Structure 1
Amino acid sequence: MVAGQDVVQARAYPFGDPDRLNLDPMYAELRRDEPLTRVRLPFGEEAWLATRYDDVRMVLGDARFSRAASVGRDEPRTHPHQNDSGMLAMDPPEHTRLRKLIAKAFTARRVELLRPRTQEIANGLLDDMERHGSPADLVEHFADVLPVAVICELLGVPFADRAKFQTWSEAIISTTSLTPQQIMEYLGNLHGYIAGLIAQRRVQETDDLLSAMVKARDEDEDRLTEQELVQLSAGLLAAGHETTVTQLPNFMYVLLTNPDRLAELRDDPALIPAAVDELMRYIPLGTAAAFARYATEDIEVGGVLVRAGEPVLGALASANRDERVFSDPDELDFHRESNPHLGFGHGPHHCVGAQLARMELQVALHALITRFPKLHLAVAEQELPWKRGMLVRGLKKLPVAW
């Protein structure tokens, strides 16, 4: 075991600018030679970076690592501002109290009840895209709309307001795309908007998740504060569509640039559920590891002694390419017998909407592949524009033809 304080040299992290959806080769080197390494991010205190699957899973799931301990600390981060992380800065039992309230809306059974409506929305969007004609931007005509429509119906948020809250939601995933002043303004607008919807629910109860949360808050004062209600609802609205809006074009980009895999799905659509999980494993969605966990006692990780109070970042994308867990990890394989990927996280903060995201992505892939069997990129791959200054990697536009 190596004592943590014996290691003094910190690597600059991230290791470089994101290159489309390619994972930096430094992760593979670290998994092999230095699975727990010291890093310095552009802002905040130094941290440890875990790169192997077992170590990342431990950091995310072991109760000896705390998110609540980040409050009041100069948390390691890629952006100058410190966000109010809400539920992401809580540990059980406080975190469990809030998560239980919303978990009922995202059970496998509830999500499956949404599948027919999601298919209906997807088909309608593709009808519109077909009327627009080839070529068309898959981001604008499909990916930007489908997840938003679904989360709006689930929460009970007017879909007509999507342009407003989509703009404001960028504040949650921005690193440098927005100024700190814009982030504060957008978050204030988003919270104010949600507070207005909550006030409406108190006047007239409706059959949606937002109304259910308002009822729980008002009937049991100890269960949910007004601020928690607003922050939780805003977080669900933003998180419920932002990542899926980004991942859907990422999925199609990978498939369109791997024609053999795309042909495999066209020939056998029954592979789509497995393909969704394999794409979640394969694609490094985040531009860097984020949301450090703080050790609450001395603990060994990857052969290194992490001291109490030190932050550790878990590199999900690296864990998902760990050759100790996944055979041929850099290959896209829809026939893996086991795929315990960490694309939705792990532990108390495992994505509460994972079932919803899986269902939406399955429906979207099936609809696109069956409606447009000759779908292909309408521009050269190197001409595709990528987002910058965000916590996640994604395409601004994805022009396709059929």
Structure 2
Amino acid sequence: MRTQYPTVQLADLTDDFTVDPYTAFAALRRRGPVHHVRFPTGDESWLVVGYEEVRSAFADPRLRNDVRHSADFEDDGLYAVGRNMLQVDPPDHTRLRTLVAREFTARRVQALRPRVEEAAGALLDAVAADGRADLVAAYAYPLPLTVICELLGVRDVDRASFRAWSTQVLALDDPEESTRASQEMAVYLAGLVQEKRRIRDAAESDLLHALVRAHDEEGAGRLAPEELLGMAFLLLVAGHETTVNLIANAVHLLLGHPEQLAALRADPELLKGAVEETLRFESPVPAGTYRYTAEPLTLGGAPIPAGARVVLSLAAAHRDPARFPDPERFDIHRDPTTTRAHLAFGHGLHHCLGAPLARLEAALALRLLLDRFPRLAHDGDGTPRWRTSLMRGLRELPVRW
């Protein structure tokens, strides 16, 4: 959206924004907490980089999730893949969230522990004799994908295709391929919904069956057709992509900090701290979903017009020295009350329902991996190859043991 406020070229602030966005964020924070920026992709937005401003913006009712508040919105009646609870505001958000909240309570998540351990063990068994592997492809990706697909009721034979679609949907380097993947995933999900609809076995208890019943039996008052599709998309993609990157990022960071890896091996109680510090230091979700200003407002001293797109940078907020001492240091020994102040799962109404499941999967994945392979190390120089994606994650993680 056009603005008289100075526009900052993020590409001018760092050698490679994909590899190192933090240098650019630090430069911006020194100037102020909110800026109008142009991303390396060419997109322009208002970017919030200060921790307190990001946290308060999450709860500001003047910032809406519904894209229809954007001045650039063209109402063609379509969304990328349906319409989900991250794209709407109350009361629709409350209605949609309520439909799935019970599946992600602490009690329900803990009941999944044996299955997560079983799946992780099987994946490690499959590669143990090889002595080396790409940990992303062999472990970090298939583990959360297996769990969420079983939770929703996606067949084993469909998972390879789904993995490819999901990766491409979130990619930033090829918009045409991303659009194609979204369309193919929408067709697949529509077919899956029809399949669930044909199966009227009361014993079927997967989450997608429950959503189909909410649509068919209770009508649009509970779940409209585009919402059914959108919720299936959100749960499948968000339900595993974040955890894939959390697991891989944690392993990469621990291998790059051998003294902290040794401390973790010596004291398993540090496992929670390792997960939380990874969420802060290399947040799998570097920014919240787009917000749009429902009215003109001033945020962090910046005058933002109505209809503007606002990006809440979690990655920047998590390196804010005003909130986290020595923020550029990865440290699993941090005071838990400080580390848990991170915003990796959002804040307020849109706090991620899947946070307990992501934490459980990551902690179990790390514990089982480190127990199984006491000599785990980078297979190479450890230089990370980051994905050009909406997520902060590695393309691959070569390891040996």
TM-score if structure 2 supplies the norm length?
Answer: 0.88
- Per-residue displacement from partner, 1:140-194 (whole Å, max 9, x unpaired)? 2211210111001111111221111111213431212x342x3333223222222
SS at match of 1:381: coil
Q: Percent identity over the alignment?
A: 41
Residue-by-residue CA offset, 1:313-345 (whole Å, 9 max, x unaligned) = 211111111222212212222232312101112
- Quick one: distance in 2 between partners of 1:146 and 1:130? 16
Name 2:158's counterpart in structure 1. 161
Q: How far off its partner does 1:361 sit?
A: 0.3
Query: 2:76: which partner in 1?
Result: none
CA-based RMSD of the aligned residues comes to: 2.4
**Which residue of structure 2 lines up, in the alignment, with residue 52 of structure 1?**
50
Counterpart in the other structure of 1:97? 95
CA distance 1:323–1:385, shift in 2 (3 Å): closer
How many residues in Structure 1 have an aligned counterpart in Structure 2? 385
Question: How much has 1:23 moved relative to structure 2?
Answer: 4.3
Whole-angstrom CA distance in 2 between matches of 1:305 and 1:18: 26
Q: Please give the per-residue CA displacement for 1:262-292, whole angstroms capped at 9, x wherever unaligned.
A: 11111111211221111100114456x4643
Shift of 1:379: 1.1
Q: How far apart, in 2, do the equivalents of 1:171 and 1:216 lie?
A: 30
Instruction: Decide which moves more: 362-371 or 65-74.
Output: 65-74
Residue 331 of structure 1 corresponds to 329
> Match of 1:358?
359
| Paired residues of 1:295 and 1:307 also in contact (CA < 8 A) | yes
AA aligned to 1:398 is: L
From 94, 110, 118, the equivalent of 1:112 is 110
Contact in 1 for aligned 2:83/2:226 (Cα 8 Å): no
The alpha-carbon distance between structure 1 residues 394 and 359, as it changes in their structure 2 partners (threshold 3 A), is same
SS of alignment partner, residue 263 of structure 2: helix
Q: Say whether the 8 Å CA contact 1:377–1:399 is kept in structure 2.
A: yes
Alignment of 1:2-401 (within 5 A): 8-13=5-10, 15-16=13-14, 17-18=16-17, 20=19, 22-41=20-39, 46-70=44-68, 73-74=71-72, 83=80, 86-87=83-84, 88-131=86-129, 133-176=130-173, 178-180=174-176, 182-204=177-199, 205=201, 206-221=204-219, 222-286=221-285, 289=287, 291-335=289-333, 336-338=335-337, 339=339, 340-382=341-383, 384-388=384-388, 390-401=389-400
- Secondary structure of 2:209's counterpart equals helix
Mapped to 2, the partners of 1:207 and 1:304 lie a distance apart of 49
Instruction: Quote the Cα distance in structure 1 between the aligned partners of 2:206 and 2:288.
Output: 32
Structure 1 residues 164 and 293 mapped into 2: Cα distance closer, same or farther (>3 Å)? same
How far the C-alpha of 1:69 sits from its partner, in A, is: 4.4
For residues 113 and 131 of structure 2, the distance between their equivalents in structure 1, rounded to whole angstroms, comes to 27
Q: Gapped runs of 5+ residues in structure 2?
A: 74-78
In the alignment, residue 387 of structure 1 is paired with which amino acid? R
Provide, for residues 59-107 of structure 1, a one-character-per-residue CA deviation record: whole Å limited to 9, x for no partner: 22211111214566437xxxxxx95683332111112211111121111
What amino acid maps onto 2:72 in structure 1?
A: D
- Segments of 5+ residues of structure 1 without an aligned counterpart are 76-81
One-letter code of the match for 1:32? R
Contact 2:169 2:181 in 1 (8 A): no
1:78 alignment partner in structure 2: none
Cα displacement (A) at 1:40: 2.4
Distance 2:336 2:175 in 1: 45
The answer to whether the Cα contact below 8 Å between 2:80 and 2:183 also exists between their aligned partners in 1 is: no
Tell me the SS of whatever aligns to 1:74: coil
Q: In structure 1, what is the Cα distance between the partners aligned to 2:42 and 2:69? A: 13
